[in-house]
A and B are shown apart, each in its own frame.
Chain A
Amino acid sequence: MLDGLALFGKALAHFADPLTLTYVALATLLGLIIGALPGLTATMGVALMTTLTLKMQPEVALLVLVCTYVGAIYGGSRSAILLNIPGTPANAAACLDGYQLALKGQAGRAMGISTTGSVMGTLIGIVALALFTPVLGELALKFGAFEFFWLALFGVIISGTLTGDDALKGWLAGFLGLLIAGVGQDPIHAYDRFSFGSRDLAGGFQLIPALVGAFGFAEVLTVLSERVARPVIHSFDSYLPRLMDVLQYWRTILRSGIIGTFIGIVPGVGEDVASWSSYAAAKRASKEPETFGKGSIDGLMAAETGDNACVPGAIIPVLALQVPGSAPAAVLMAAMIIHGVQPGPMIMVNNPQFVYDVVAMMLYATIGILVFGLLLVRPLIKILQVPRDIIMPIVFVLCVIGSFAIAQRLFDVWTMIGFGILGYVLRQYNYPMAPFVLGIVLGDLLDKNLRRGLVLSDGDLTPFVTRPISAVLFGICLLSIALNITAFREAMNRLWSRATGGRTA
């Protein structure tokens, strides 16, 4: 514990020079703007910023990305409150009560609540990040090929189950991602798979161009395909957060912070599920559930605390297991690898300082959102009023140059365009993007560890389901699938009502 505090103090001091703090300010501000503009998501922002920070020192580049991530998730609440359009998918729950408050002339208070909730949520997540990453890292040292195989599959299945409204489509998207990760030289024998004689395909699809396409270009197409009227913004009251709100809603803050952090740790689920789950839990616990959706402060506080607590939560499995907790965390993980930082079970052994560097980065980002949340209310409103038709062609230019800049090859630009079109089409047919992205990220882990496991067991599948951690992961995967089978679900419901004597849950 004391070692951790010393490393954290060292990290705080390391980043506390004027130039680095300027980067913190600029990156948080940019994240805030990206998040606030509907159509620009946190994943897209972090992916684009990865390409912009390639030449920076690794720790500064990652600091910029963390600040962009935190800023974007917070910034999305602005358009949710003022326009009833979530700036990022994570802020959809904030629309319900935030916009209702705006209609009542309390947009300022709603923004204050959003700032309070976001800051408190991130702080709760930061504490969890500092405390649980070493614990999870230690547990992960016990993982072998069998466990890592299940972990990769678990991520795709859970993400597919929870991120869309149709689990089957989520799993299909996830499997497609896993397959796409397999294109190119296989990681064991360097044999070209599905390259069709193309040297470019033999190198495989690079993660960042694929993500910039699936989240960036697909969004550009979505936004440009719809005609949007110029936004109307209502007048608002004071936006200064009130201490009373923190004191009055401390239970909501604590509950949502814990829920958000926990959902962040679950691979590939992400901020939107964290926000909705926190909102639902707050509604269940509230003495006035009927006010939810009609301008409830409790509801808005829960949604905004939950999604921001998820950000540090999503980074915990990145650092400890090399498995991202959300789509933006997947990009962040790719950026870490590009910058030569190897996350995973060995990080607490080889590079413990980095874990506390990330904790310090998060803290600086939180200070950033608090400062900008208070200072830049009116300028942000001006930015929200810029027509999206003007912004999107410029964003596409950044998608092109960002994809090209990584390896300076045109194939990456074509990859971005291909994945953008694929992402757009899949989304139109209700296939969620998070499991797709997680599949691309985890494909290599699954591929190597399934084959290694089979070699270790000489083709025997028993160790995959009998080793303790494997058995747990296998059980959760199986249960997630079974619960989506109507007959099984109905049988479970019948059993439950029999066990509880007919009372419903």
Chain B
Amino acid sequence: MTERPSARADLVWSLIWIAFGGAVFYGSWTMDRLEALHINPYTAPGLVPGVLGLGIVVMGVILLLRSLRAGAGGAPVQLITPRLLIAAVLCVAYGVGLVGQGLPFWLATLLFVFAGIAVFRWDDYRASGTVGRGLLTALLCAAGTAAGVTLVFQEIFLVRLP
């Protein structure tokens, strides 16, 4: 993103910070102070998170006032683009849905890398009329990555792959 976020975006964020900091402060305030263990009250586990939560609330309020003074206007940041959505879905599907869920690691990796390259290079392959060659390249990259990573981590670094 090249342009600065608008005052409106800062306004929304300030509210998020205030709510988050407030929740942390509440959680810290109500946290067990371990009085039954007769600890020094200055070492209570909630002390530091509470101070930090309060600090975030104060800074959130300053951000709120600043954005209100700036008019709280402007265009919202376009956070989600189709390419970003595809990238996020593919990565999360691989990292959460495929890895460690029963599918062999090498197969999950092969599928992910092939899909990733094929999807993001598709327009270029189609524009240059090299769809077949492009998909073959994607498959070779995917197979190379799956084999290389599996070999290096499993056989050399002795990591039990997910």
Question: CB within 8 Å of B: which residues of A?
Answer: 52, 54-55, 168-169, 171-172, 175-176, 178-179, 182, 186, 188-189, 191, 193-194, 217, 220-221, 224-227, 387, 389-390, 392-394, 396-398, 400-401, 404-405, 408, 410, 413-414, 416-417, 420-421, 425, 427-430, 446-447, 450-452, 454-455, 458-459
Contact = CB atoms under 8 A, between A and B. Distances in A.
A224 B59 contact: no
Contact of A398 (B37, B48, B149): B149
Contact of A194 (B17, B27, B159): B27
A215 B62 CA distance: 28
A394 B141 CA distance: 9
B70 interface: no
Contacts of B59: 168, 171-172, 175
Interface of B: prevailing SS: helix
Contact of B161 (A52, A55, A186, A401): A401
Given A417-B92, A451-B42, A455-B42, 4 more contacts: A189-B34, A390-B121, A392-B120, A429-B9
Interface in B12-51: 13, 17, 24, 27, 31-32, 34, 37, 39-40, 42-43, 45-49, 51
B43 A397 contact: no
B55 to A, nearest CB: 5
B77 A429 contact: yes
B96 A220 contact: no
Contacts of B81: 225
Contact of A413 (B84, B99, B109, B152): B99
A145 B159 CA distance: 39
Contacts of B27: 194
A425 B159 contact: no
A225 B79 CA distance: 10
Contacts of B24: 179, 194
Nearest to A393: B116
Contacts of A182: 48-49, 52
B157 A52 contact: yes
A176 B42 contact: no
A193 B31 contact: yes
Interface string B44-70: 011111011101100110110010000
5 contacts: A168-B63, A393-B145, A398-B149, A413-B100, A428-B5
Contacts, number: 170
A55 B154 CA distance: 12
B95 A414 contact: yes
A94 to B, nearest CB: 19
A396 B9 CA distance: 29
A135 B72 CA distance: 50
Contact of A220 (B39, B56, B91, B159): B91
Contact of B113 (A394, A401, A429): A394
A349 B90 CA distance: 50
Nearest to A194: B27
Contacts of A176: 56
Contacts of B31: 191, 193
Contacts of B94: 396-397, 400
B58 to A, nearest CB: 10
B62 A168 contact: yes
A458 B43 CA distance: 11
A179 B162 contact: no
Contacts of A217: 91
Which of B39, B40, B53 has the most C-beta atoms of chain A within 10 angstroms of its own C-beta? B40
A390 B141 contact: yes
B38 to A, nearest CB: 12
Nearest to B109: A397
Contacts of B99: 400, 404, 410, 413
B48 A446 contact: yes
Given A393-B117, A429-B13, A455-B40, A175 B49 contact: no
B4 interface: yes
B126 to A, nearest CB: 14
A224 B149 contact: no
Given A221-B88, A404-B162, A189 B37 contact: yes
Contacts of A55: 157-158
Contacts of A410: 99-100, 162
Contact of B42 (A169, A390, A454): A454
Contact of B56 (A175, A225, A408): A175
What 7 A-B pairs come out closest when comparing CB atoms?
A393-B116, A225-B84, A454-B42, A224-B87, A389-B120, A191-B45, A186-B45
Contacts of A459: 42
A397 B100 CA distance: 13
Given A172-B63, A189-B37, A393 B55 contact: no
B160 interface: yes
Contacts of A193: 31, 45-46, 49
